Amino acid sequence: MSKIFKNQIFIPVAALLLLMLFNLVIDPSFFKISMGVNSAGNPVLSGYLITIINNGSELAILAIGMTLVTAASGGQDISVGAAIAIAGSTMLRVLCGTNTRPDTLSTPIFVAFIVGCLVAMAFGAFNGVLVSIFKIQPMVATLILYTAGRSIAAWINNNELPIISDPKFGYYGGFIPGIPIPTPFFIAMACVIIIFLVLKFTNLGLYTQAVGINESSSRLNGINPVFIKWLTFVILGACVAVAALIKVSRLSSINYSVIAKDIEMDAILAVALGGNALSGGKFNMAASIIGAFVIQTLTTTLFKYNVPSDALPAYKAIVVIALVVFSAPTFREAVSKFVKNIKGGKNKEVANV
Amino acid sequence: MFLSVFSMAGCTSVSSVEDIEEVADTQNVMEDDTDEGLIVIGFSQVGAESDWRKANTESMVKTFTREKGYDLILEDAQQKQQNQITAIRTFIQREVDYIVLAPVTEDGWDTVLTEAKDAGIPVIIVDRMVNVSDPELFKCWVGSDFELEGRKACEWLRNYCENKEIAPEEVNIVDIQGTAGASSQIGRTKGLKDAVRANGWNLLEEAAGEYTQAKGREATSRLLRKYDNINVVYCENDNEAFGAIEAIESAGRKVGNNITAGQIMVISFDGVSDQAIEYAKNGKISCIGECNPLHGPRVEKIIQNLQQGVTPDKYEYVDEDIFSGDSTVTSIEVDDSVYTIKILGK
Amino acid sequence: MSKLSNKFKDMTDTNLLLTITIVVFFLMYIGAIVFQGKGFLKPQTFFNILNTNAALIILACGMSLVMITGGIDISVGGVTALVSMCCAVYLDYKGGNVAVSMIIAILIGLAYGLVQGFLVAYLDIQPFIVSLAGMFFARGMTTIVNTNPFNVVNPDFVALKDTRIIVPGMGSVNKLGKYVNAYVEIGVIVALVIVIVMFCILRWTKLGRSFYAVGGNKQSALMLGINVKHTKFMSHIICSLLAGIGGYVYFLHVGSGAVTHAQGAEMNAIASSIIGGTMLTGGVGNIIGTFFGVLSLSTIQNIVASAGLDQAWWTGITIAAMLCIFLVVQSVVMARKKRAIKK
Amino acid sequence: MDNNALLSLRGIYKSFPGVKALQNVDFTLRKGEIHALMGENGAGKSTLIKVLTGVYTKDEGEISLEGSDVIIRSPEDAQHAGISTVYQEITLCPNLSVAENMYIGRSDDVIQNWKAMNAGADKMLKSLDIPAKATQQLGSCSIAVQQMVAIARAVDMDCKVLILDEPTSSLDDNEVQKLFGLMRELKARGVGIIFVTHFLDQVYEVCDRITVLRDGKLVGEYEIKDLPRVQLVSKMLGKELDDLSDIKSETAGSSVDTSGEPVIEAEGLSSTEGIRPFDFNIHKGEVNGFTGLLGSGRSECVRAIFGADRVVSGTVKKNGKTIKINKPIDAMKNGIGYLPEDRKVDGIIGDLSVKENIILALQVMKGFFKPFTKAEANAFADEYIKALSIKTASADTPIKSLSGGNQQKCILARWLLTHPDYLILDEPTRGIDVGTKVDIQKLVLKLASEGMSITFISSETDEMLRTCSRLIVMRDRRVVGELKGEDLTQNKIMSTIAGGEA
């Protein structure tokens, strides 16, 4: 029992179950999934659970990269939202060519994705260089891209808003005809599977943790900490590109100042909710990914009860604080002491009698 | 892209295009008279939140070029009044000749406009109105009659329903509003509300859309979950309409005029972007109340008048049309004026 | 030469970074005058920078303080918006009086400080997460209080807002040939007072030095007999209190309540602190540097604006570039210094 | 009850999850005495001191100072009560000035008087002969100076009780003597001093009394004259000791064949850390050592061989073939292992498990894309936990929760697992109890006899004499001599280090 309680993954899972339980008690229709037909005439599933796995996908993908960056560098990348804008803008630019409202795509989507991916990884590499070579704290280093990112994204498309009319481009953020489950979920699952395979068949996990815990010692054991830190930022860049593809595909367009706004905060939260120390070192990837879905479940639940989107953060904040307070070691210690005291008091009373 | 907007505007408000050329001619003559060389204009723009806004900015930039003897300093306020106030103060320090202000909201301009007046710089307001204690704080205003736009769109809806024999109580409208407090939002909302009262339609809810696609989408999908009888979505600009259409389609519903058959009708404003016109052609947007963004030539004319010491009219409205892809309604009448609907063929 | 390098070696990290910041600021301002001409020569241009950024100066002071202590507080922008909205609603809807609105601002700041400080200092929760939640909460609460932006028309408040303090002996002749005195708003006076007070606290008080000690090495500070938890707690109290005051100064400057107020202010405050030579790792920083950091940041914005780089996105790119240069220079200078000491 | 008692601790209990660190410990300190607190690693010395200084709060027990009970909840309280402490690790703030480090956290004054503070600090620094300025930033001083500043702070506090927790580990002999002088002076003033160290010589040089702890329990308190060294050691270990003499009897490494090709041979090697180019060689099965004062460049030499610092000149040959070593991984691939000097900073990876720490080096050598299976990793870990008798709850316990000696054994296991041809051990016994020290020395000799070449570095000369067959002596970052065979005596080493003509 205590082992389960102590396990890192306990916190996000418990939070998820708690939220589900809350919905089950208040309104079981939360779990209703119905089959409908979308405008393209395809059968699609809809319901709150579908919304969660659909909209939580980008967050889960980002949480993967963010977890690695956090583990290796002991800091967070706050530029992922801006980087998504850049990657998305690049993809649209490549797809559209010179015409911002093309009838046909000027390049295959695959090529556009690769280019967007390279650009996102290049920006990740830029952050990585600042952090690993210049030894600037990650939050500060990524503040640069955070400030400039959306401007760069606007600049890539001359501040125009390209719109893709080809319905195929919409598949990545919507539905593939004939498959009623939203595509982003498949993409997220693919990313999750890839990262777990990578963690299993390479030493990425061991190296990033070693570097995050003790850089100097890792170096003396033959690890190149500079490269590992840099690598985690590049991997995050790749995650950003995938998330960007989903984001722009959802709209078939882009809004530079709004796209993926505040997603960095949610991604960092996902890592923290997963019980991973934001100061780096040991990490649990599964916990982070569940953490991402906890956040999305919370968001969807709040939406369901008609909390306006602007007021949403206030409720989120309360839940987050409750979670971190509950998982704070100091708090747990105090509670267990308190419980002990009560029990101890009872025992003494018994003894007195 | 700009060119296409321009040509489209050309077909809708021919008069203004001719104006440009006229003014440009007088300008060339004028240039020799000014010793300073360029006329410096500080333009504080709201932002780049919508296609309309961008077309508006483009119009200004294309009009006030160096070749024509102007130096335009453009400041994008990114939707914040504070940035506009700062920009105007910077203009004052730089001693520009004219300040053009496209205000983000109507209130809170007294102080800074007084400063401009004290510094002897005339201010021209474009698009939205300002609400100031002393009307002398600005020279004149150029923009659209937003309430008229709203009334025209509602009149179209009334005519359409009458033609199709749809009872007023069957019309269930939601209003996706623009940036709260903006003149356009106030005018278009008022136009709708008056029409709802006069015609006996149901206005289910008013939601904030902030003139953006993302907000439009978000608000619409929330409303669709809340009400299952919505059949008209009244979006206060095109970008909101794009968002609304996405939301409707991803909820598994269809957009279109045939509201008795379960389709949802989208009404929108601006009509500046190709996409909006495209949507109107193929019936995704049922009706668009045009909002003419081409303020540049009008402002230029005013500045020319001021240069020559002529006081312009205090309020100048630009001419605007109404578009639809559906030919059920061909003309409407508002305030005793008849407006022909521009039917956009496929 | 060797004397100079010795001086460089003996300089504390704080003073070294401060010197860099001040030098860069003056170079930049001179550059602006040379390239942009008359606008930057007018005293009022400089005072306008102060007027516009008075609130940011106050926020950045608080931010520097928590950063020196080794923490971070990203809720300051949210608190500013919340303060503006609450005060605006109170003043207009309740017809309240100005003094009470000030107390409201301070109370909001204090409440934030108490909660965040307690969570960070006594429950050992990472400050980033705590203040992130704080930011979410403040932004959310602001919308809950009131969604629509509006201007305050309360006459007492407007009078206070429009009060201008003439700067003696400075001014310029305007287009109409009239001599106009340079002026600052009340907020600037508040900001300057806070800069001075904060400087004194950090330099000469026991608490102030404790901030540096805790930021330098928490464990050591504990062993040296400093109450680390209390020190951290105090840093958050002061920071949030300053966010409350800064929020009011912001409110006084804009005279309205809006959900979008002070958006990104926390990042500007952090950027100003970094440009001013405060290090996020803690233990190094200076309030005077922060003050110049804010000025540098806004001078850059001004240059961009008057350079006629019309698109808004240029501002973002230049600030980022400047931040990048500052960070790299800092990093290189510190590394050099370390090497110099070793030898 | 002793009337002269300055500080007394009665029945102290302290436990951590899973560990009873202190059980019913009594301790008495008298006025004007220097009292050694001895025990193996994990015996509870550090815990006791941390309880006394308020870093930990005790579970049970009483502390009284000059006859009246005191409650100490934080280091602040301890300072106010007149207890000041110098810790083994430097516990000062590197970003503050020297003067500030000496005065911060001491007074109740709200306002700091910089002038008085700097003047006072300068006076103190001068009187103690510490080469630092009051206004200098502490971080710009050498480690030894920083440690001296910490001592100066403690001395300046006019304390009643001064605790020195292994203060000498980063000081050279000269500085140690200076410290001892200071301790005697304070003792004469009536200050009670608690002295914790692993150096037996130092204990017998300055202390009056010894309290021995073992496994968190009190063994006893003794007058120094009543307790010969051997007995002290046996009390600390809890067994009679023949082992020590065992080792002495083996004249180590005398049988090494040095005629063949050296395993590792370096020529003109130097690194960015400022050592003069040096030559070096080692043969199969040989144990040699670098000796010299702290800061003489011992560690820098071996770090250069391992590629831990950037090498700027020189060549390295292995079995006669030139090899290129730019970074640690190159050295590892060529069969070189390096146990670093600073275990905490360069050795352990604190939050990772014992298992992960053990397999790390071999894993890195095996490659990024070839992780060990769980079974393999467990097998390796179990093998070495057993072989080196590492005391740990399980292979999955985080290494940071082990005692210093056991952590060191894990690091040793890490390198043994890579089966190096040449192993560098830099201060493997620092801060480790006598029992483990002996274990490690024995292990070194055993490995050498199996054919491994080992370089052994230690601050304790007798330990070097016991294990090494050849010593390379360093002074001021250059090699000044090489001693072997007959020359391996304390005196000869000392004179070579000192560098006199004699």
Q: Per the CB < 8 Å rule, is D140 touching C10? A: yes
Q: State which residues form the domain around D165.
A: 5-245
Query: Which residue among A36, A100, A255 sits closest to B214, beta carbon to beta carbon?
Result: A255
Inter-chain contact A255–B218, Cβ cutoff 8 Å?
Answer: no
Q: How many residues does chain A have?
A: 353
Q: Is the pLDDT of residue A311 over 50?
A: yes
Beta-carbon contacts of residue A183 (< 8 Å; ≥ 6 apart): A171, A172, A173, A174, A175, A176, A246
CB contact under 8 A, C314 and A154: no
* Residue B246, token pair as written in the block: 């996405």
Query: What is the average per-residue pLDDT within A249-278?
Result: 84
Domains parsed from chain C with CATH numbers: 16-31+42-335 (1.10.3470)
Query: Of D225, D245, D265, which marks where a domain is finished?
Result: D245
Please enumerate in sequence order all residues whose Cβ is within 8 A of that of A12, keeping only pairs 6 or more positions apart, or say none: A273, A274, A275, A287, A290, A291, A294
Average pLDDT over every residue of D112-128: 87
Q: Tell me which residue has tokens 């978000």.
A: B218
Instruction: Give the D window 426-445 contacts with C, CB below 8 Å.
Output: none
Quick: pLDDT tens for D15-54: 876 567 888 999 999 988 999 998 876 678 888 988 888 8
Q: Which fold has domain B146-291+323-343?
A: Rossmann fold (3.40.50)
Q: Tens of pLDDT along A193-226?
A: 999 999 999 999 999 999 999 999 999 999 999 9
Mean pLDDT for the stretch of residues A44-67: 91
What's the token pair of residue D76? 């602040």
Q: Do D230 and D273 reside in the same domain of the chain?
A: no
Judge whether residue B211 has pLDDT over 90.
no
Q: B212 and A159 in contact by Cβ < 8 A?
A: no
Give yes or no for D100 touching C (CB within 8 A).
yes
Boundary-marking domain end, from D245, D278, D293: D245
D115 and D150 housed in the same domain: yes
Cβ atoms of D102 and D124 within 8 Å: the answer is: yes
Is there a single domain that holds both residue D340 and residue D208? no
HEC secondary structure over B17-77: HHHHHHHHHHHHHHHHHCCCCCEEEEEEECCCCCHHHHHHHHHHHHHCCCCCCEEEEEEEC
- CA B195 to CA B197: how far, in whole Å? 5
Whether C46 shows a pLDDT value over 80: the answer reads yes
Would strands D478-484 and D470-475 be described as parallel, antiparallel, or unpaired? antiparallel
For position A186, what pLDDT does the model report? 94
What is the arithmetic mean of pLDDT over C89-109? 90
Same domain, D236 and D293: no
**Does A352 map to a domain?**
no
Position A297 in a domain: yes
CA distance C33 to C28: 9
How far apart CA C125 and CA C113 sit, in angstroms, is: 14
Residues 113-142 of A with CB under 8 A from C: 130, 134-137, 139-141
Pairing verdict, β D209-214 and D217-223: antiparallel
| Residue A314 forms part of a structural domain | no
DSSP string covering D99-145, please? HHHHHTTT---SB--HHHHHHHHHHHHHHTT----TTSBGGGS-HHH
Homologous superfamily in CATH for domain B2-143+293-318: Response regulator (3.40.50.2300)
List of chain A residues whose C-beta atoms are within 8 Å of the C-beta of residue D356 = 206, 210
Query: Residue A33 domain-assigned?
Result: yes
Q: What is the enclosing helix (H) or strand (E) of B205?
A: strand B202-208
Which residues of chain A make contact with C140, given a CB cutoff of 8 A? 310-317
Q: B238 to chain A: which residues are within 8 Å by CB?
A: none
Question: Which residue has better confidence, C181 or B9?
Answer: C181
Residues forming beta bridges with residue B339, ordered by sequence position: B332
Spatial contact of B217 and A255, defined as CB atoms under 8 Å apart: no
Task: Calculate mean pLDDT across residues A51-77.
Answer: 93
Of D351, D367, D414, the CB nearest to A281: D351
**Record: contact C136-A154, CB cut-off 8 A:** no
Q: Are D441 and D458 in contact, with CB atoms under 8 Å apart?
A: no
By CB neighbour count within 10 A (0-12 exposed, 13-18 middle, 19+ buried), where does C217 fall?
buried
Report helix angle A225-251 to A80-96, nearest 10. Answer: 60
CA distances from A148 to A144, C312, C319 (A): 6, 11, 8
Please state at what angle helix C228-254 crosses helix C76-93, rounded to 10 degrees.
Answer: 50
**What mean pLDDT do residues B108-129 have?**
89
First vs last C-alpha separation in chain A:
32
- Looking at the predicted structure, is the pLDDT value of residue B39 above 60? yes
| Same domain? D161 vs D291 | no
Each residue's pLDDT tens digit, D45-104: 888 988 888 888 888 888 998 888 888 888 888 888 888 888 877 778 888 889 988 888
Give the least confident one: A41-55, B329-343, C237-251, D250-264: D250-264
Longest Cα–Cα distance in chain A: 90
* pLDDT of B263 over the 70 cut: yes
Residue A10: which domain range?
Answer: 2-306
Banded pLDDT at A112 (limits 50, 70, 90): very high
pLDDT at residue C214, rounded to an integer: 93
Q: Which residue has the higher pLDDT, C254 or A346?
A: C254
> Count of CB atoms within 10 A of residue C316's CB?
23
In D120-236 the beta strands, taken as DSSP E runs, fall at: 161-165, 192-196, 209-214, 217-223
> Which site among D57, D88, D93 would you substitute to test the C interface, given the most C Cβ atoms closer than 10 Å to its Cβ?
D93
What is the H or E stretch that residue D34 is in? strand D34-38
> In this structure, what CATH number is given to the domain that contains residue A119?
1.10.3470
Looking at the structure, do residues D236 and D259 belong to the same domain, yes or no?
A: no
Measuring CA to CA, how many Å separate D341 from each of A95, A220, B169, B260, D428? 57, 11, 86, 84, 7
In chain A, what residues touch C267 (CB-CB under 8 Å)?
A: 143, 146-147
Work out the average pLDDT over D202-217.
Answer: 88
Instruction: Output the 3-class SS for C265-276.
Output: HHHHHHHHHHHC
Q: Count Cα neighbours of C82 within 13 Å in the Cβ-side half-sphere.
A: 27
Q: What pLDDT band is residue C238 in, cutting at 50, 70 and 90?
A: very high
Give the whole-angstrom CA distance, residue B129 versus residue B106.
Answer: 6
Q: Give the closest residue to B189 by CA, choosing from B211, B213, B167, B212.
A: B211
Say how far apart CA D280 and CA D268 lie, in whole Å.
9
Spell out the domain ranges in chain B: 2-143+293-318, 146-291+323-343
The DSSP string of A45-97 is EESHHHHHHHHHHHHHHHHHHHHHHHHHHSS--TTHHHHHHHHHHHHHHHHHT
Work out the angle at residue A55's Cα, subtended by the Cα atoms of residues A53 and A61, and round it to the nearest 5 degrees: 80
3-state SS assignment for residue D336: strand
CA atoms within 13 A on the CB side of B166: 23
Model confidence pLDDT, tens digit, residues D297-337: 888 889 999 998 888 888 899 888 899 888 899 999 999 99
Which tokens sit at D318?
């292995």
**D278 and D218 housed in the same domain:** no
How many structural domains compose chain D? 2
Which pLDDT score is estimated for D418? 92
Same domain, D239 and D251: no
Q: B129 vs B52, B181, B303, B314, C147, CA distance in Å? A: 17, 10, 19, 12, 21
Phi and psi of D392, rounded to 5°?
-145, 150
Task: Find out whether C191 and C249 touch, Cβ atoms under 8 Å.
Answer: yes
Q: Does D107 touch chain C (CB under 8 A)?
A: yes
**Coil, strand, or helix at residue A98?**
coil
Per-residue pLDDT for C245 more than 80?
yes
* Residue for token pair 């479940």: A297
What pLDDT is stored for residue A67 in this prediction?
95
The tokens describing D486, both together, are 């007959």
CA distance D345 to chain A (A): 7
Q: Are residues D62 and D182 in the same domain?
A: yes
Q: What is the CATH number of the domain that holds D443?
A: 3.40.50.300
C121: left (phi over 0), alpha (psi -120 to 50) or beta: alpha
Mean pLDDT of chain D: 84
Question: What is the arithmetic mean of pLDDT over B135-155?
Answer: 90
Q: Which tops the pLDDT comparison, D159 or C56?
A: C56
Residues D224, D282: one domain? no
Strands B287-290 and B322-324: antiparallel
Look at residue C55 in the predicted model and tell me its pLDDT.
95
Strand pairing category for D422-426 and D336-339: parallel
State the pLDDT at residue C119.
94
Do D205 and D154 lie in one domain? The reply is: yes
| pLDDT tops 50 at residue B1 | no
Measured CA to CA, the distance from residue D258 to residue D261 in angstroms comes to: 8
pLDDT above 70 (res C82): yes
- Which residues make Cβ contacts (< 8 Å) with residue C264, sequence separation at least 6? C77
Distance CA B49, CA D91 (A): 55
Please name the chains neighbouring A, where neighbouring means 3+ C-beta pairs under 8 angstroms: B, C, D
In DSSP terms, D12 is beta-bridged to: D25
The predicted model gives D371-393 an average pLDDT of 90
Q: How many CB atoms lie within 10 A of CB B318?
A: 21
User: At which of D245, D279, D294 does a domain end?
Assistant: D245
